[in-house]
C-alpha cells in the first residue's frame, strides 16, 4: 500500500509549474524573439502562479462549502456457522472500497486461526466477541469503515459491541439451520452431531438471534448481490448522520442532510 507524501505532492506541483513556465517562455520567445523578455515573463509567471496557488488552497481549506464529514460505520454480520457471513462481508467490503471508503474486514474465524487458544465455552466466546468489537470501535475512531463477520451468538456480547461503537449496524444473516447444514463446506455440523465437536453453535450451543437488527437478510432465498445491496442501502442511511449523543443503544441522535447519495448509490 502506498500513500502520497507531502514531498511528492510538492514536487509534482513544482514540476507542473516548471513545464508551464517553459511553455510560456517559448511562446513569448517565438512571438518577440527577445530572450531576456521571455525569461523574465517565465520567471514572473512561475512565482506569481505558485503564490496564487498557495493562497487559493489556503482559502479553500477554510471554507466548508462542499465538504461533508462522513461518519464511518461498523457493519456487524452475525449468524449461524456456514450462513454465508464471510462471503457477504467480502462483497460489502469490496463495494465500499470501490466507492472510495477506507474499509477493514474482521473475521471471527480468521482471528481464531491466529489465536488458536481461544475456546468455545460461553465465557470464551463472549471475550472473543468483545475483543473484536473493541478493535472495530478503535478502527472506527480512526475513520475506517469496519465490516465484521462473526457468529457472535450471544445477545449480551453484541450489545457490548454496540455500546462501544459510535455508528453500529447489526446485520442478521438469517440463513436457516437446515440450509447451513446443507451448505456446510467443512462438515462441522455433522461432526458436532456425532459428538466430535463440543459447544457448536446451532447444535449443542444456542444462537440468540437478534430481535431487532438494522438489517436482516437470508442468503438462502436471495442472491449475494441482493443481500449486499440491502446492506449498502442501510449503510447509506447510517452515513447520513453525524456522530452525536446516543441513548445507550448506539442510535445516533443528531441528523443532517447528506451529499453522499451519488457516491453511495447502489447498482
Question: What DSSP letter does each residue of 228-258 carry, written as one string?
Answer: HHHHHHHHHHHTTB----B-SS--B--B---
Q: Is the pTM of this model over 0.75?
A: no
Same domain, 153 and 254: yes
Overall number of domains in the chain: 2
Residues 80, 122, single domain; the answer is yes
152 carries an active-site annotation: yes
Res. 11 pLDDT band, cuts 50 70 90 = confident
Owning domain of residue 242: 74-264
Domain match, 39 and 88 both: no
Task: Enumerate the β-bridge partners of residue 173.
Answer: 217
From the candidates 152, 157, 249, 258, give the one annotated as an active-site residue. 152
79, 52: one domain:
no
Closest CA to 249 of 216, 207, 212: 212
Residues 83-142 have pLDDT tens digits of 999 999 999 999 999 988 999 999 998 998 888 888 899 999 999 999 999 999 999 999
Q: Are 201 and 78 in contact (CB under 8 A)?
A: no
What are 230's three cell numbers?
440491502
CATH of residue 208's domain is 3.40.50.300
Same domain for 38 and 79? no
DSSP readout, 212-228?
S-SEEE-TTTS-HHHHH
Residue 79 has pLDDT above 70, yes or no: yes
Does 127 share its domain with 79? yes
Arithmetic mean of pLDDT, 67-84: 90
Residue written as cell 473493541? 134
Amino acid at each position: 500500500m502506498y500513500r502520497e507524501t507531502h514531498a511528492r505532492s510538492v514536487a509534482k506541483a513544482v514540476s507542473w509549474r516548471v513545464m508551464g513556465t517553459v511553455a510560456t517562455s517559448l511562446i513569448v520567445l517565438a512571438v518577440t524573439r527577445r530572450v531576456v523578455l521571455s525569461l523574465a515573463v517565465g520567471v514572473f509567471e512561475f512565482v506569481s502562479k505558485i503564490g496564487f496557488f498557495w493562497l487559493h488552497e489556503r482559502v479553500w481549506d477554510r471554507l466548508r462549502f462542499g465538504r461533508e464529514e462522513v461518519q464511518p460505520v461498523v457493519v456487524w454480520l452475525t449468524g449461524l456457522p456456514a450462513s454465508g457471513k464471510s462471503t457477504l462481508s467480502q462483497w460489502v467490503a469490496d463495494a465500499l472500497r470501490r466507492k472510495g471508503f477506507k474499509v477493514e474486514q474482521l473475521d471471527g474465524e480468521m482471528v481464531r486461526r491466529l489465536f488458536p487458544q481461544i475456546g468455545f465455552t460461553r465465557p470464551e466466546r463472549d471475550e472473543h466477541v468483545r475483543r473484536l468489537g473493541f478493535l472495530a470501535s478503535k478502527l472506527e475512531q480512526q475513520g475506517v469503515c469496519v465490516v465484521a463477520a462473526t457468529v457472535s451468538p450471544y445477545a449480551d456480547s453484541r450489545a457490548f459491541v454496540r455500546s462501544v461503537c459510535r455508528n453500529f449496524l447489526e446485520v442478521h444473516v438469517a440463513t436457516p439451520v437446515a440450509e447451513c447444514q446443507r451448505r456446510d463446506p467443512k462438515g462441522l455440523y455433522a461432526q458436532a452431531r456425532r459428538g466430535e465437536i463440543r459447544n457448536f453453535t446451532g447444535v449443542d450451543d444456542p444462537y440468540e438471534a437478534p430481535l431487532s437488527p438494522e438489517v436482516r437478510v437470508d442468503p438462502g432465498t436471495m442472491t449475494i448481490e441482493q443481500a449486499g445491496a440491502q446492506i449498502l442501502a442501510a449503510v447509506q442511511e447510517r452515513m447520513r448522520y453525524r456522530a452525536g449523543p446516543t441513548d445507550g443503544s448506539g442510535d445516533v441522535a443528531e441528523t443532517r442532510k447528506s451529499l453522499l447519495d451519488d457516491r453511495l448509490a447502489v447498482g
